[in-house]
Structure 1
Amino acid sequence: MFKKLIDKARNIFSKDDKDSNKTQERIPISSDIDKVHKKVKELFGKSDDVTIREFVIGNSSVKALIVMIDGMIDKKIINRDVLQPLMVQSRGVPPGEDEISDMYDWVNERVLTFQSVKESDDFKGSIDAVLSGDTVLFIDGYDQSLIISARGWDERGVQRPTTEKVIRGPKESFTETLRTNTSLIRRKIKNTNLKFESMVIGSVSRTQVSIGYIEGIVNPKIVKEVKTRLKDIEVDAILDTGYIQEYIEDAPLSPLPTIHRTERPDGVAGKLLEGKVTILVDGSPSALTVPTIFVEYLSISEDYYQRASFSTFTRWLRIVAFFTTLLLPAFYVAIVSFHQEMLPTQLIISIAAEREGVPFPSVVEAILMGLLFEILREAGTRMPRPIGQAVSIVGALILGEAAVTAGLTSTPMVIVAALTGVGVFVIPSADLAFTLIPLRFLLTILSAILGMFGILLGLLMITIHMASLRSFGIPYLSPLAPGTYRDLKDVLVRAPWWAMNTRPNLYTENQIRQEVNQKPQDPEDDEKELKHSD
């Protein structure tokens, strides 16, 4: 009921915005070069980084207009392959305008030697191309333009991932350039069925967004739903995938993430091969993949590069770290406040002795230490790396020791806060790790009120909420709920590759991943012996 009221209110308040943000209609290009020149001047006004040049093609009397943005194009290529051929090299070919049956086609097919030259009869689309870094050529007497791709701005090269550390596997991450990111994925999936479809979102920023999927593996209904949700976005600017994420997720008010975000191309390639869809945004060094289930946040691409036994072990370590981070402070508060009999007598006496001079109840102590750790973590993240590491490590040691000495907290509470903080860094997904922070404080408060019953009540609410979530129609807790036996091979354990013959059942069209019976077999006894011939 509450969700329906929110959706209704959102539709009412967003109605006016949708009407004002409607896409402008196509504007035809005038065949009069002077009118085009005047219109371009009016659009860009006093922008000194926009180059607008009018010239005559060869020794003819046909005028042309070139429009580009300085800093977004390669000047050498424009001078060598556009201006020089049109103004100098074509002076004798042809000698006069009368011998040219179609100047537009002659320039397009014989003069310009670019790999990518597009024709356009839309003035607005041509201006959008200029703003995206292309060069646009208008020719007098023709109501079409030539969009020349000669982009040449400075960009960051492919580097190691910064937020997803790699021990084994490809050591490369996405950049801020859309075409570089799509090429990184294509290098891993060399198949014609890998499709990328682009659209422009943002009435002011005109940001290019690309949807990637593998035809024949992905469920077409999911692709259609992704396109529908993206087309429904009407906003002035999209600067990062985080904008897209909030607009298209199924449960925008949920604290739990339902769209996976990664900076690793190999991670995206693996999810595409499972039948998922990726969303790339020009200017963002990360990619989104949908649909997403909860167990994905506790696994990484590296799990599939290591041996199955070791990958299963590390996956269980992450599960233990997840529950430690979520529940340890709440358990400590509940035991100290209500359930002292659960601990050995000697241990509870030791804890009581440590807490003897602490003026705060255990719940206040836990919340203060949790907030202190988060402040230090945030400071270490925002400060320059060498200084930030010193602040996060040395600061925690010094402040923890000072707090114990001053009697503001107890030694067991410092240990609990340290274990909780370290457990956050074991969780591979930053989105999930940040989600645990408010949930941890909630469970701590419930444990201070109701003890263990409060913890169980909080866990029950979280579990019910997770069971109600969907990601593009896929249950968030699948394959655990609803249970899918054959998909459990990649949840709590990571089965060997030769045992994972099928893709996930719920969100793929083609469920067959590989042929069966590929388990390596021991050779026969007689083949084990080396045969030596005299």
Structure 2
Amino acid sequence: MNLLFRKSPRRRGGQTPDEVKENDVLSANLDINLKNLQSIFDTSFDIVFHKFVMTNDIKATLIYIDGAVNTQVLEEHVLTPLLSRKEPMQQSIADSIQEKLHIAKKQEIKTIQACVENILIGNCVLLIDTVEKAYALGLMKWEHRPIEEPAGENVVRGPREGFIESLPINLSLIRRKIKTPLLKTESMTIGKYTNTNIAITYIKGLAEEGLLEEVRNRLNQIDLDSVLESGYIEELIEDNPYSPFPQIINTERPDVVASHLLEGRVAVLVDGTPFVLIVPVSFFSLLQSSEDYYQRFLISTAIRILRFIFMFISLLFPSLYIAVVTYHQEMIPTNLLISIAAARESVPFPAFIEALIMEIAFEALREAGVRLPKQIGSAVSIVGALVIGQAAVQAGLVSAPMVIVVATTGIASFMVPYTSQGTALRMLRFPMMFLASTLGLLGIMLGIISIIIHLCSLRSFGVPYLSPIAPLKGKELKDSIIRAPWWKMNTRPHLTGNYNKYRQAGGQKPEPNKN
């Protein structure tokens, strides 16, 4: 895919602006073309109209965005050859341009709309008098930050590179992982005013055609003024936007995207953001980390099991404490019950209000730690939690056991690899606490049953959210709660089709050396 020159991009998000008419073709009169373009870019001081006279006294103009074009290359490889008097044009202007301009990426365009589009994406447009076409020169040089390790997806073992805000660079990072011509990319433009480039990426022969068509249809239905981040797209294409559970993975890691593409999934890249969307997903894939596949399978399995345990702790621990302390004291050992009663003797609030105060305070400290500068964010969140927790206990507002419960719950929530999934569990923690305070353990069971029913009803682009547990697919349990060794995972996960079932040859189990 060529992101620099798009012959007919699929534009979504409203009609073309009134000033740019699709049928307006370029005139052979340079002044008329400049008048049309100057009226479109009226009062835009960053749009440069560089007029000059070529060999044989032919008038020409270069149009580009100041700061978006490599001016050094423009000077050396465009202006210098065109202004040279040593080599006058002995042939047609079109042939002379092709001969003089040693630019790797150049394209002939014939409409005002194409000129505007190329200027806005960072290309330089060359207009020549007496010529009924223009030349789009691929000299874009947008500033971008260097490739760094993603701050929110750190690993002990694995690649340290992450996506940035440049779509072409992000695509190159994926191609660096998957070196095959079967890796396909499709381009479209969404947003009436932002004209944001969107790339659909998949591996031909692994991604099922029905899934691809569904992704295209959902993206084509989007009609927005702007797309500034992939979150706009995610919210508009997911199956159930009212569910707290994410049905699309967003990641900054190229290795995560590559691994999902190799399993037959589809990635959606959005220009201007480092977060790439992956569809379809399941509940279990949102609890898996890329590092699970880089370590030995025994260690990865143990960590996954620990992750599931702490997921339940994050969701249910405060609720269980409230239910047991309020309604089911007989379940607590006598010594522990006496200790809890002594700690709560001076607390004026019931267990539910006590937990609610501490949970809200913890969430506020967590959010403050994220928003503050990195140098002081972690210090404020940790010191604030210690100071507020100790002060609240001494003031008799909350009990020490409740501080322990909330702190353990907070630590457990950090075990979830993806922030979106962890946020869903944090949101559900509050209704579970309310059910526990009103109905005890019965309320907790009703809440769990409601969550399971909701999860069973969810789909992610046609794939059951609880797959491979519901419906049960025994062969795919090798990579769900546990992580089987690589020589056992010969087949790809079953998504919406049976494309390219096997991903490796069988019989690769290493044999011990008997010598």
| 1:278-293 equivalences in 2 (<5 Å) | 278-293=267-282
Alignment of 1:310-325 (within 5 A): 310-325=299-314
Residue 108 of structure 2 aligns with which residue?
119
Mapped contact 1:104–1:139 kept (Cα < 8 A)? no
After superposition, residues 505-524 of structure 1 pair within 5 angstroms as 505-507=494-496, 509-523=499-513
Match of 1:43 in 2: 40
Partner amino acid, structure 2, of 1:77: V
Is 1:221 equivalent to 2:215 in the alignment?
no
The higher-RCO structure (CA 8 Å, 6+ apart) is 2
CA distances 1:380-418 after superposition (whole Å, capped 9, x unpaired): 111111211111111101100000000000000000000
Cα drift, residue 49 of structure 1: 1.2
User: 1:21 aligned to 2:14?
Assistant: yes
What SS does structure 1 have at the residue aligned with 2:147? coil
Q: Which residue of 2 aligns with 1:165?
A: 154
1:532 corresponding residue in structure 2: none
Which residue matches 1:80?
76
Q: Deviations over 1:348-386 (max 9, x none)?
A: 111111111101110011111000000101111111112
Match of 1:414 among 379, 387, 403: 403
What is the alpha-carbon distance in structure 1 between the residues aligned to residue 432 and residue 128 of structure 2?
A: 69
Structure 2 residue aligned with 1:54: 51
**What does 1:330-479 correspond to in 2, within 5 Å?**
330-479=319-468
Moved over 4 A (4+): none
2:220 to 227, 231, 234: 231
How far apart, in 2, do the equivalents of 1:57 and 1:221 lie?
A: 54
Question: Which ranges in structure 2 are unaligned for 5 or more consecutive residues?
Answer: 1-10
**Partner Cα separation in structure 2 for residue 228 and residue 122 of structure 1:** 28
For 1:249 and 1:327, locate their aligned partners in 2 and report how far apart those are by CA, in whole Å: 27
Alpha carbons 2:12, 2:223 under 8 Å: kept: no
Separation in structure 2 between the aligned mates of residue 394 and residue 50 of structure 1, nearest angstrom: 50
Residues 24-57 of structure 1: CA deviation (Å, up to 9, x unaligned): 6623222221111111111111221111122222
**SS in structure 2 of the partner of residue 521 of structure 1:** coil
Identity rate, percent: 45
**CA offset digits 1:211-236 (Å, max 9, x no partner):** 11000111111111111111111111
Q: Could you say which residue in structure 2 is the equivalent of 1:94?
A: 88
C-alpha distance in structure 1 between counterparts of 2:16 and 2:486, whole Å? 48
**SS of structure 2 residue aligned to 1:376:** helix
Please say if 1:106 is aligned against 2:115: no
CA distance in 1, matches of 2:472, 2:27: 62
> Which of 250, 260, 272 is the aligned partner of 2:239?
250
Opposite residue 169 of structure 2, the aligned amino acid is T
Q: Following the alignment from structure 1 to structure 2, what is the Cα–Cα distance between the partners of residues 266 and 133?
A: 29
Separation in structure 2 between the aligned mates of residue 383 and residue 141 of structure 1, nearest angstrom? 59
1:160–1:173 Cα contact (<8 Å) kept = yes
- State the 1:166 CA deviation: 1.5
Query: After the TM superposition, which of the residue ranges 506-515 and 494-503 deviates more from structure 2?
Result: 506-515
Report the Cα distance in structure 2 between the residues aligned to 1:221 and 1:275, rounded to whole angstroms: 12
Whether 2:190 is the aligned partner of 1:201: answer yes
1:129 to 113, 118, 125: 118
What is the aligned partner in structure 2 of residue 304 from structure 1?
293
CA distance, structure 1, for counterparts of residue 183 and residue 323 of structure 2 = 53
2:12 touches 2:190 (CA, 8 Å); kept in 1?
Answer: no
1:327 matched to 2:316: yes
SS in 2 for 1:444: helix
Match of 2:4 in 1: none
In 2 relative to 1, CA 163–306 (structure 1 residues): closer, same or farther, beyond 3 Å? same
Return closer, same or farther for 1:180/1:42 CA change in 2, 3 Å cut-off.
same
Q: Residues 239 and 19 (structure 1 numbering): CA distance in 2 closer, same or farther, change over 3 Å?
A: closer
2:3 is matched with none
Counterpart residue identity of residue 470, structure 1: R
What is the distance in 1 between the residues matched to 2:13 and 2:234?
Answer: 23
Let me know the Cα RMSD of the aligned residues: 1.5
Q: Where in structure 1 are there 5+ consecutive unaligned residues? A: 1-17, 529-534
Letter in 2 for 1:279: V
> What SS does the corresponding residue of 1:187 show, helix, strand or coil?
helix
1:23 to partner: Cα distance: 4.6
The question of whether the paired residues in 1 share the 8 Å contact of 2:264 and 2:495 is answered with no
The residue type equivalent to 1:69 in the other structure is I
Which whole-Å CA distance do the structure 1 matches of 2:42 and 2:326 have between them?
70
Q: Distance in 2 between matches of 1:38 and 1:140?
A: 13
CA separation in 2, counterparts of 1:31 and 1:244? 41
CA change 1:319–1:19 in 2 (3 A) is: closer
Distance across 2 between alignment mates of 1:241 and 1:483: 32
Counterpart selection for 1:67 from 60, 63, 75:
63
- CA–CA distance in structure 2, aligned partners of residues 67 and 144 of structure 1: 14
Secondary structure of the residue aligned to 1:239 is: coil
Kept after mapping to 2: 8 A contact 1:156/1:175: yes
Displacement of 1:321 in angstroms is: 1.2
CA shift, 1:464, in A, is: 0.7
Q: Which amino acid aligns with 1:174?
A: F
Say which SS state the counterpart of residue 63 (structure 2) adopts.
Answer: strand
In 2, distance between residues paired with 1:49 and 1:36?
19
Offset of 1:19 from its aligned partner?
Answer: 11
Q: Partners in 2 of 1:223 and 1:31 — Cα distance?
A: 43
Match of 2:8 in 1: none
Q: Say if 1:475 and 1:482, in contact at 8 Å, map to a contact too.
A: yes
CA distance in 2, matches of 1:41, 1:413: 67
